Amino acid sequence: MSKVLGKVYTENDADLKYVKEKNIAVLGYGSQGRAWVLNLLDSGLNVKLGLEREGNSWKKAQEDGVKPMKTEEALKGADIVIFLVPDMVQRKIYSEKVKPVLKPGMDLVFAHGFNIHYKLIQPPENVDVYMAAPKAPGPSVREFFVKGGGVPVLVGVNQDYSGQALQKALAIAKGLGATKAGVLETTFKEETETDLMGEQLDLVGGLTAMLRATFHTIVDLGYRPEMAYFEAINEMKLITDQIYEKGLSGMLRAVSDTAKYGGLTVGTYVINDDVKKRMKEKAERIKSGKFADEWIEEYDEGSKNLASLMDDLDNSLEEQVGRELREIVLRGQPKK
């Protein structure tokens, strides 16, 4: 029995029978969509893949042996609709394609709570709304499953018209392989806000900024960029692998005493209370909905800032060096 965690659902707590006879339409075949379609099909579920265009996702699905079809076609007779198009696209597909064919008793399923929590999608009361949110990038959702495991998933219920929404969320999570690890329960509010906080402050935003700042600090002192790339960026994976398997103190025990002492004393000097104050400010912005408003406005105006930030990153010295160094590093990776 866990001392800290709430209920953790595993294999025997979830039954595929709750979704086995249902027609499932998965919309989108990107990072998560590909993993979900392939895992759910391999788990023996009735899945149709619906896409808007015959573009890259369509081709990729065909290469994977999946038969894509137009969104309208996949939605015909669907009992469960899974939204795996980008968060900013979901409201359009919902209002133009899903809403017109929505029938009482159907299920709307999400991998992230954004559209429901921030009310971009407001479903009628007579449908179930639930989530199965993988706590991992899409490619890992597939890779873990193929190797006989699964990544942890959070399930949450926003509307329980059928009285079975939680069982169905757990069944979908099981189909993804997640009950091999563990499934925890959450709410749309908690998942949406904490997911955004994690990816902005740390996983995606904070991490990228910290790696780049360390790289430039070293380069600006006259050291060669390739040395800076190895020290500031490349080795991060191996350090986070240690954290993933053994926790923060386990990682510290795997490095030298010199690294331990230097790391523990300097880390908190760099990431100090000032930084934490700014983190709190941005976390509050997520909680208040202001980040969502800003992101929706940016998207509606063509995501120009996002494109220019990605361009700057692609053209940066660290990415130029990284592209060449990764060829060397990846050559030495253990064979899968």
Ligand X SMILES: CC(C)(O)[C@@H](O)C(=O)O
User: What residues are annotated to the active site?
Assistant: 112
User: Do residues 277 and 201 make contact, with C-beta atoms less than 8 angstroms apart?
Assistant: no
Q: Which residue is nearest to ligand X (CB)?
A: 199
Q: Residue 50's beta-bridge partner residues? A: 27, 69
Does residue 209 touch ligand X according to CB under 6 A?
no
The C-alpha atoms of residue 235 and residue 33 are separated, in whole angstroms, by 30
Does residue 28 touch ligand NAD according to CB under 6 A?
yes
User: Do residues 38 and 64 make contact, with C-beta atoms less than 8 angstroms apart?
Assistant: yes
Q: What x-and-dash track marks residues 256-295 binding ligand X by CB under 6 A? A: ----------------------------------------
What does the DSSP 8-state code read for residue 90? H
Shortest distance, CB of residue 227 to ligand X, whole angstroms? 29
Q: Which of residues 105-124 bind ligand NAD (CB under 6 A)?
A: 111-112
User: 89 is in the binding site of which of Mg ion, ligand X, ligand NAD, none (Cβ under 5 to 8 A by kind)?
Assistant: ligand NAD
The pairing of beta strand 80-83 with beta strand 107-110: parallel
Closer by beta carbon to ligand X, 146 or else 204 = 204
Q: Is position 29 annotated in a ligand binding site? A: yes
Q: Which of residues 134-153 bind ligand X (CB under 6 A)?
A: 137
Closer by beta carbon to ligand NAD, 58 or else 215 = 58
Q: Residue 109's beta-bridge partner residues? A: 82, 130
Quick one: tokens of 12? 């025997």
Q: Is position 31 annotated in a ligand binding site? A: yes
Phi first, then psi, for residue 133 (nearest 5°) are -105, 105
Does residue 192 touch ligand NAD according to CB under 6 A?
no
Q: CB 204: neighbour CB atoms within 10 A?
A: 11
Handedness of CA 59, 61, 63, 67 (dihedral sign): negative
Size of the site for Mg ion (CB under 5 A): 2
Does residue 52 touch ligand X according to CB under 6 A?
no
CA atoms within 13 A on the CB side of 69: 11
Does residue 205 touch ligand X according to CB under 6 A?
no
The correct pick among 87, 107, 128, 191 for binding ligand NAD (CB under 6 A) is 87
Q: Is position 9 annotated in a ligand binding site? A: no
The C-alpha atoms of residue 2 and residue 8 are separated, in whole angstroms, by 8
Does residue 87 touch Mg ion according to CB under 5 A?
no
Which region among 11-19, 131-139, 166-174, 302-310 touches ligand NAD (by CB under 6 A)?
A: 131-139
User: How far, in whole angstroms, is CA 212 from its chain's centroid?
Assistant: 22
User: 204 is in the binding site of which of ligand X, Mg ion, ligand NAD, none (Cβ under 5 to 8 A by kind)?
Assistant: ligand X
Closer by beta carbon to Mg ion, 193 or else 195 = 195
Q: Is position 96 annotated in a ligand binding site? A: no
The C-alpha atoms of residue 188 and residue 179 are separated, in whole angstroms, by 20
Place of tokens 């010295």: 317
Place of tokens 């294999």: 11
Closer by beta carbon to ligand X, 31 or else 158 = 31
Quick one: tokens of 157? 């219920």
Closest Cα partner for 45 from 82, 90, 11, 93? 82
Q: Is position 261 annotated in a ligand binding site? A: no
The correct pick among 138, 156, 177, 182 for binding ligand NAD (CB under 6 A) is 138
- What's the angle, vertex CA 197, arms to CA 193 and CA 202, rounded to 5? 160
Q: Is position 32 annotated in a ligand binding site? A: yes
3-state secondary structure at position 214: helix
Closer by beta carbon to ligand NAD, 19 or else 116 = 116
The correct pick among 108, 195, 197, 318 for binding Mg ion (CB under 5 A) is 195
| Binding footprint of ligand X on the chain (CB under 6 A) | 137, 195, 199, 203-204
| Binding footprint of Mg ion on the chain (CB under 5 A) | 195, 199
| Binding footprint of ligand NAD on the chain (CB under 6 A) | 28-33, 52, 57, 84-87, 89, 111-112, 133-134, 137-138
